[in-house]
Amino acid sequence: MKERVRQYRKGIVYTTVAFFAWGVLPFYWKALGAVPAFEILAHRILWSFVFITIVLAVRRNTQVKALLKDPRSRKSLLVTSALIGLNWFTYVYAVNSGHIVEASMGYYINPLVSIFLGIVILKERLDLLQILSFVLACGGVLYLTMDYGKFPWIAVLLACAFGLYGLFKKTSNLQSLPSLMIETMLLSPLALGIIVYQASISRGSFFSISIKTDFLLIFAGVITTLPLYWFAQGAKRIPLSSVGFLQYIAPTLMLCIGVFVYNETFTRAHLISFGLIWIALVLYSLTLVRTSRS
């Protein structure tokens, strides 16, 4: 019993730290505001690949070879690499173009997108609370679109890309770090091409702005990989319901940073829209607790 309690506490710490790290990432990308979003993405991919390769080599992990030999895994990894690249680019673009609030909405509705994908792709059945939560979240997005006159494409794109990424991970049973290494490996030629091309036309940011910028670009691989590792370590030690509650730390921090630090607009329409999404998430969380108990 004592060991179980110790592992649970450890899992809570790991998961909380992971979501906290994801929540404060806007500060990091804002510090790279002078670098174009697509170039930040290129460095994020390249240095993530380098960092993960080093970590797996030190740990003598042999799962990468097994994934590459399996035809089904290879096909899934081609798709997940494109999805994670799209998600990373959209998030960096959102932060550095003044749309942190909209990005936070994306991560709030992500669990509900996963529910929708579960219905359509995996033929899962929903109970009344889950159906209600999904309808309320859709209502929140629709209300903001109608009142604001502009579809929140950043939020929807982030939620859909990450939801589909999670779906492929679930159905393919791909391990976190080995699969992320292959995903970044597949994207690295493109990333390296962007970096070299930018340098060749004298528009590259690497070794041309400041030592601080160079360090931040290289360290982007570490701050991308570490939260994923912490999350993986935490999620396997605590119930799904606990993960479900803790995952709202990240978008809540992002929302607060966007509104109170970078003075992004938060209108009455935003309040109503987010209010509907928050109610939907409370209902969704109740279903997680009930599932965990049963």
CA atoms within 13 A on the CB side of 166: 19
pLDDT above 90: percentage of residues in the chain: 38
- Is residue 277 in some structural domain? no
In the 8-state DSSP scheme, what is residue 258? I
CA distances from 214 to 27, 29, 32, 50, 219 (A): 16, 13, 10, 15, 9
State the pLDDT at residue 240.
61
Boundaries of domain holding 206: 2-130+150-268
State the pLDDT at residue 192.
94
Instruction: For 49-89, write each residue's pLDDT tens digit.
Output: 999 999 888 887 778 888 888 888 888 889 999 999 999 99
- Is residue 142 in some structural domain? no
Instruction: For 81-120, write each residue's pLDDT tens digit.
Output: 999 999 999 999 999 999 999 999 888 888 778 777 877 7
pLDDT above 70: percentage of residues in the chain: 94
- Is residue 289 in some structural domain? no
Instruction: Give the angle subtended at the CA of 186 by the CAs of 178 and 39, to the nearest 5°.
Output: 110
Number of domains into which the chain is organized:
1
Which is more confident, 126 or 230? 230
What tokens does 91 get? 């998030």
Measured CA to CA, the distance from residue 5 to residue 284 in angstroms comes to: 26
State the pLDDT at residue 45.
94
State the pLDDT at residue 186.
93
User: pLDDT category, 261, cuts 50, 70, 90?
Assistant: very high
Any idea which of 144-158, 193-207, 257-271 has the lowest mean pLDDT? 144-158
Measured CA to CA, the distance from residue 128 to residue 168 in angstroms comes to: 26
State the pLDDT at residue 288.
66
Measured CA to CA, the distance from residue 13 to residue 29 in angstroms comes to: 25
Measured CA to CA, the distance from residue 21 to residue 236 in angstroms comes to: 19
Nearest alpha-carbon partner for 256 in 115, 118, 101 = 101
* 233-243 mean pLDDT: 73
- Is residue 137 in some structural domain? no
Residue 15 has pLDDT above 60, yes or no: yes
- Is residue 123 in some structural domain? yes
- Is residue 64 in some structural domain? yes
State the pLDDT at residue 241.
59
What single letter denotes the amino acid at residue 172?
Answer: S
- Is residue 83 in some structural domain? yes
Go through the chain and tell me how many residues it has.
Answer: 294
Residue 142 has pLDDT above 90, yes or no: no
State the pLDDT at residue 144.
79
Identify each DSSP E strand in 104-183 by its residue range: none
Residue 294 has pLDDT above 60, yes or no: no
What tokens does 110 get? 């992500």
- Is residue 192 in some structural domain? yes
What tokens does 195 get? 């970096």
Task: Specify burial of residue 294 (Cβ count, 10 A radius: 0-12, 13-18, 19+).
Answer: exposed
Measured CA to CA, the distance from residue 42 to residue 48 in angstroms comes to: 10
User: Using N-to-C axis directions, what is the helix angle for 37-58 and 71-96, rounded to 10°?
Assistant: 130
